[in-house]
Amino acid sequence: MARIIINQDGCKGCEMCVNACPRHIIALDKEKINAKGYHPAKLLDEEKCTGCCSCAMMCPDCMIVVER
């Protein structure tokens, strides 16, 4: 089973990973604000993640790691 790890402290909430995810299982966490003042991305459903790496490839700051 694949999963992604998002560095929420470094995420600037650009939503590029949200738009890149073909399974639509990444969203901005509207209930959390990180140290930089942004709503970071979060994985909504780990079971549906296929490990395609689309989110990690699109992240301009390399804040996403995909584990398989």
pLDDT per residue of the chain (68 residues) written in tens, 0 to 9: 788 999 999 999 999 999 999 999 999 999 999 999 999 999 999 999 999 999 999 999 999 999 98
Cα(40)–Cα(17) distance, integer angstroms: 11
| DSSP labels, 6-59 | E-TTT-----HHHHH-TT--EEE-TT---TTS---EEES-GGG-----HHHHH-
Tell me what pLDDT residue 68 has: 85
Structure tokens at 61: 């700051």
**Range of the structural domain that residue 12 is part of:** 3-67
Query: How far are the Cα atoms of 2, 5, 47, 50 from residue 13, in angstroms, in the given order?
Result: 23, 15, 23, 22
Tell me what pLDDT residue 42 has: 97
Tell me what pLDDT residue 8 has: 96
Tell me what pLDDT residue 7 has: 97
Tell me what pLDDT residue 56 has: 98
User: Domain of 30: which CATH number?
Assistant: 3.30.70.20
Domain count, the chain: 1
